[in-house]
DNA sequence: GGAAATGTCGTGTATATACACTTACGTACT
DNA sequence: AGTACGTAAGTGTATATACACGACATTTCC
């Protein structure tokens, strides 16, 4: 690869996505600092809350996350008592449920998340922000097919 | 946070970015499978190659990555002999340089990366892909200011 | 010339991410 | 009943990510 070929650095979809994800995650983490939750944990907890009781594999699909990654990510939240993982009827399955403590933690964190979200939208502008979200969803949809 | 409030899951900029980043990184990793490099390593090596010899902190800024993260990410590449980290004139500084072996590894991986990139652009369409990249760069620019 | 401030870096710790492999359960077929 | 296949999940291993802290080098300022 010639030294002058910038495409793999400047144009790589994957690298650009990760780069932006790092920057934005730090931005949200800054706001969530005093919530006791990181962005990743807040997202996971919120997703689990909305989903209700749900097997690990299905929740992993929702999050576009490897199943084994989810298993590890559940650990700290489970330790904190924010969610529960219990066997289902089918004893192969383990179901994830947000505990009342988990819901309370979400309630506490929500305003901080909202503050970050608002600042983000202000910075980007409503228009551009909406477009970005559409693009991201579009990407995921394309990769599923 | 009410159970019906989907905004923190469906609309969170941070969560959506990470989600897309996971999906796309896996997509690129699939293509890079036989290169011996992961997406992250390929990007880092490519960035270091383009940058030439450069201190860790400066390279970290280029990559919008925490300095200490970069330090850890350099390890496997250094172990493989793909890059070198050496003290500079200013003895606080440690300079990163891609070795000839590293350049060779980039050459070998480049076609696989290009294949993923092409498939990606095909899937999204030129128009939408360009728009996505602009959005991502826009986000990073906004966060710097 | 020496103290104080600043700049560059590594490590300890904790979480996030995913692949390969294994284990255990359920279902269908004979 | 028993085998074969498929499904759900955990673990081992390796890398990615970042914060708090401390070590050491340079610069600044008296």
pLDDT digits (tens, 9 = 90+) for B21-33: 999 999 999 999 9
Q: How far apart are CA B11 and CA B126, in angstroms?
A: 25
Least Cα distance to B20 among A28, A142, A34, A108 occurs for: A142
**Which pLDDT tens digit goes with each residue over A81-137?**
999 999 999 999 999 999 999 999 999 999 999 999 999 999 999 999 999 999 999
Distance CA B17, CA A19 (A): 10
Mean pLDDT of B121-126: 94
Residue A123 sits at the chain B interface (C-beta within 8 Å): yes
Give the Cα separation of A122 and A111 in Å (integer). 16
Which residue reads 């159970």 in tokens? Answer: B3
Tally A–B CB contacts below 8 A: 187
What's residue B7's pLDDT? 77
List the single residue in B with minimal CA-CA distance to A105: B1
Put simply, whether the predicted model's pTM sits higher than 0.85 gets the answer yes
Find which of A10, A139, A143, A145 to mutate to test the B interface (most B CBs within 10 Å of its CB): A139
Pairing outcome for strands B54-55 and B83-87: unpaired
Per-residue tokens: A53: 């009781």
Task: Please report the pLDDT score of residue A9 as a whole number.
Answer: 83
pLDDT tens for A24-55 read: 999 999 999 999 999 999 999 999 999 999 99
Determine how β-strand B54-55 pairs with β-strand A83-87.
Answer: unpaired
Asked if B122 is an interface residue toward chain A (Cβ–Cβ < 8 A), one would say no
Angle at A47 between CA A41 and CA A50, to 5 degrees: 140
CB B116, CB B31: distance < 8 Å = yes
Helix B126-144 / helix B100-124 crossing angle, nearest 10 deg? 120
Residue from A15, A105, A137 whose CB has the most chain B CBs within 10 Å, to mutate: A15
Residue B3 pLDDT class (50, 70, 90 cuts): low
The residues, ordered by sequence, that sit 6+ positions from A8 with a Cβ below 8 Å of its Cβ are: A1, A15, B42, B43, B46, B106, B110, B113
Residues of B with Cβ-Cβ distance to A49 under 8 angstroms: 1, 3
Of A21, A46, A120, the CB nearest to B21: A21
A110 CA, C13 C1': Å apart:
27
For residue A7, name the pLDDT band (cuts at 50, 70, 90).
Answer: confident
Helices (H), chain B: 13-32, 39-51, 56-62, 67-79, 100-124, 126-144
């Amino acid at each position: 690869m010639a030294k002058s070929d910038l495409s793999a650095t400047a144009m790589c979809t994957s690298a650009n996505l990760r780069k932006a994800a790092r920057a934005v995650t730090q931005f949200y983490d800054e706001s969530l600092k005093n919530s006791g939750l990181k962005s990743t944990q807040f997202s996971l907890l919120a997703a689990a809350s909305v989903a209700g009781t749900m097997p690990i594999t299905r929740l992993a699909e929702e999050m576009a996350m490897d199943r084994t990654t989810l298993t590890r990510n559940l650990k700290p939240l489970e330790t904190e008592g924010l969610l529960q993982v219990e066997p289902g009827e089918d004893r192969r399955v383990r179901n994830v449920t947000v505990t009342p403590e988990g819901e309370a933690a979400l309630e506490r964190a929500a305003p901080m998340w909202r503050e970050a979200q608002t600042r983000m939208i202000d910075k980007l502008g409503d228009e551009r922000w909406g477009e970005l979200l559409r693009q991201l969803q579009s990407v995921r949809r394309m990769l599923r097919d």
